[in-house]
Amino acid sequence: MFGYVKPVPAELLVREYDFYRAVYCGICRCMRRYTGRLSALSLTYDSVFCALVRMMLSDESCRSGRCRCALHPCRGKHCVQENPTLVYTARAFAVLAYGKYCDERADRRGLSRIPLWFAGPVLRHAARRAAMPELLTGMQEELHRLHRLEAENCASVDCVADCSGRLLSRFFSQDLPAGKQKIASDIGFHLGRFIAVADAAEDLEADIRQSNYNPLHAAGNTELNENLRARLHASLTMELSMLEEGLQCLPLAQYAAAGNILKNIVCLGLPERIRFLVSGKDPQGETI
C-alpha cells in the first residue's frame, strides 16, 4: 500500500484537496509523537485512505488548525487535529512500514540490501512503540504465508492477492465497533487484492530480469502480452467495482469532502495507476 492509493488532484475541489493534505499532516504529527520522529519518514499519502474510511465509520469530528513542521519551518500548514482515528492510523502504518521492510529484506539480494541496514532499526523501533501486538502478529502470519508461497513458486495470483487482502482487512477494521468492522474489512480486503495484482503486473518484467518471485511468471508468463493485459485489467476492474460497493456502505452524504476524496481515489486514482494495461505503455511510461 505504498504509492498506489492516491487521488487525481485536478478532479478535487480546492477545499477537498486541502482537507486531504491536512489529514496527512495530522497523521504525520501523530506518527512523530507516538512512534518516533524518524518513523514519519516512512509515511505515505496512502494512509489518508484508511484514515478517512475509519473516520467516517467512527463518526468522529475533524477539527483543524495551523501547525508547523520541520519540513516547513517558516510557514504554517493546515492540519487536522489529533483524534483517535489519526492516532490509530499513525500507529498502524508504523507496523505496516515494518512489515514492508521485513518483506523486502527477505526478497533483496546483495548490495540492494544495504539501505535496509539503516532503515531496519528505525522501523523496528517504531513498530514496537506502536504497541499493537495483535496487528503485528496478524501481519507476520500473512507475511509467513506469502513467503511460503514464494518458496513454493506458487503460480496462483489469487493466493498471493488474498494474503495482501487479509492483511489490509486487519489494518482497516481492527478496534472498530462490531457492526462496522465488516464494512472496513471488505474495503481493506479488496484494496489489498487490487494492490497485489497490480504490483505483480507492474513488476513482472523487472522481476524476471532480477530472478525475483512473481506469481505471473510462475504461471508461465514471460511478458505482459495483450492477452495477459486484458485478463489482468478485467480482474482489477472487478476489484475496483467491489471497492465501490464498499464505499456505498459509508455515510458519504454526511461527510461530503471525505466521501468525494474516497470516490476520487477508487474511481479515478486507482484506475489511472493501471492504465498501462490498456494504454500501450509500460508502467514507467515508455511506449511498447
pLDDT at 286: 43
| Residue 55, C-alpha cell as written in the block | 473516520
Tell me the pLDDT band of 161, cut-offs 50, 70 and 90. Answer: very high
Tell me the pLDDT band of 110, cut-offs 50, 70 and 90. Answer: low
Task: Count structural domains, the chain.
Answer: 1
Is residue 182, in this structure, part of any structural domain at all?
yes
Q: How far is CA 29 from CA 46, 121, 130, in A?
A: 16, 21, 14
Is residue 3, in this structure, part of any structural domain at all?
no
Is residue 142, in this structure, part of any structural domain at all?
yes
| Residue 31, C-alpha cell as written in the block | 506518527
Q: Please name the residue ranges forming H helices in 211-255.
A: 215-218, 226-247
Q: What is the DSSP letter of 287?
A: B
Task: Give the position of cell 498501462.
Answer: 276
Q: How far is CA 235 from CA 102, 193, 194, in A?
A: 28, 10, 9
Higher pLDDT, 223 or 109: 223
CA dihedral 140, 144, 146, 152 (to 10 degrees): 170
Q: What is the DSSP letter of 275?
A: T
Is residue 287, in this structure, part of any structural domain at all?
no
Is residue 238, in this structure, part of any structural domain at all?
yes
Is residue 232, in this structure, part of any structural domain at all?
yes
Distance from C-alpha of 116 to C-alpha of 150, rounded to nearest angstrom: 20
Tell me the pLDDT band of 208, cut-offs 50, 70 and 90. Answer: very high
Tell me the pLDDT band of 288, cut-offs 50, 70 and 90. Answer: very low
pLDDT at 238: 96
pLDDT tens figures, 2-58? 678 999 999 999 999 999 999 999 999 999 999 998 899 899 999 999 999 999 999
**3-state secondary structure (DSSP) of residue 277:** helix
Is residue 284, in this structure, part of any structural domain at all?
no
Instruction: Quote the percentage of the chain above a pLDDT of 70.
Output: 90
Tell me the pLDDT band of 65, cut-offs 50, 70 and 90. Answer: confident
Segment holding 78, helix H or strand E = strand 72-80
CATH at residue 248: 1.10.600.10
φ, ψ for residue 248 (rounded to 5)? -65, -15
Is residue 2, in this structure, part of any structural domain at all?
no
Work out the average pLDDT over 63-88: 81
Q: What domain range is 101 assigned to?
A: 9-279
Distance from C-alpha of 6 to C-alpha of 271, rounded to nearest angstrom: 10
Tell me the pLDDT band of 61, cut-offs 50, 70 and 90. Answer: confident
